[in-house]
C-alpha cells in the first residue's frame, strides 16, 4: 500500500501540513502510523477520507458536521455501526436535498431581481447624490443564459 508523508497528503488533498495536524488534534481524522523517527505516515484510505472532507468543506459544512460524516465514513465498514451510520447518512442526505432546493431558489431570486431591476422604486437609503434618475431609453442588458442554466427551474 502506498505511503505518504504529510506534505504529500497535503498536496493531494489541498490542505496544509498544519491543517492536517490540526484535524488530527481535534479528532476529525485518525492519527496515522508513525515512521521509526516519528514522521506521520499516511495511506490511501487517509487520502480518500481527506478528499471527502475537502469536498464537504467546499460545500460549507462545519468541521463538526463533517466530523459526523467522517466518522461514518471511517467506521462504515464495521457491521456494528451500520445502523447509526444509516441514520447519519439519511439525515445528511435530507439536509443536502434542502440545501439544493434553497440554492436553486436563491439562483431564481437573483435572476428575478436582475430582471426586475428597472421597475424597483428607489429605497430609503438612496439619496440625491446617488444620481439614479431612471433613463427611460436605457435597455436592461440581459443576463447571459449560460450563467443560470442548471440553477434555474425545477427545485426538486
Is the CB of residue 111 less than 8 Å from the CB of residue 104? Answer: no
7 binds, among DNA, its own copies, none (CB under 5 to 8 A by kind): DNA
CA pair distance 144, 43, nearest whole angstrom:
45
Is the CB of residue 40 less than 8 Å from the CB of residue 6? Answer: yes
Cα Rg of the chain, angstroms:
24
Number of other residues whose CB lies within 10 A of the CB of residue 53: 23
Q: Which of 37, 80, 129, 149 binds DNA (CB under 7 A)?
A: 37
123 binds its own copies (CB under 8 A): yes
43 binds DNA (CB under 7 A): no
Alpha helices in the chain (DSSP H): 6-13, 17-25, 44-58, 63-75, 82-116, 145-148
- Nearest-approach distance from CB 118 to its own copies, in angstroms: 8
128 binds, among DNA, its own copies, none (CB under 5 to 8 A by kind): none
Residues 49-88 that bind DNA (CB under 7 A): 57, 62-64
Residues 77-96 that bind its own copies (CB under 8 A): 77-80, 82-83, 85-86, 89-94, 96
Helix (H) or strand (E) holding 41: strand 40-41
Q: Between residues 21 and 74, which has the closer beta carbon with respect to DNA? A: 21
Binding site for DNA (CB under 7 A): 5-8, 16-19, 21-22, 35-40, 57, 62-64
Amino acid at each position: 500500500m502506498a505511503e505518504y508523508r504529510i506534505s504529500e497528503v497535503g498536496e493531494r488533498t489541498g490542505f496544509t501540513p498544519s491543517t492536517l495536524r490540526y484535524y488530527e488534534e481535534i479528532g476529525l481524522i485518525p492519527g496515522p502510523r508513525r515512521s521509526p523517527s516519528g514522521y506521520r505516515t499516511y495511506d490511501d484510505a487517509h487520502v480518500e477520507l481527506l478528499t471527502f472532507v475537502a469536498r464537504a468543506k467546499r460545500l460549507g459544512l462545519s468541521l463538526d458536521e463533517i466530523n459526523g460524516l467522517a466518522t461514518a465514513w471511517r467506521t462504515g465498514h464495521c457491521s456494528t455501526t451500520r445502523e447509526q451510520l444509516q441514520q447519519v447518512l439519511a439525515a445528511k442526505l435530507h439536509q443536502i436535498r434542502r440545501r439544493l432546493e434553497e440554492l436553486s431558489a436563491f439562483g431564481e431570486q437573483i435572476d428575478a431581481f436582475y430582471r426586475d431591476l428597472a421597475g424597483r422604486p428607489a429605497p430609503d437609503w438612496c439619496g440625491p447624490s446617488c444620481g439614479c434618475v431612471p433613463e427611460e431609453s436605457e435597455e436592461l442588458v440581459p443576463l447571459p443564459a449560460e450563467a443560470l442554466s442548471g440553477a434555474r427551474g425545477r427545485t426538486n
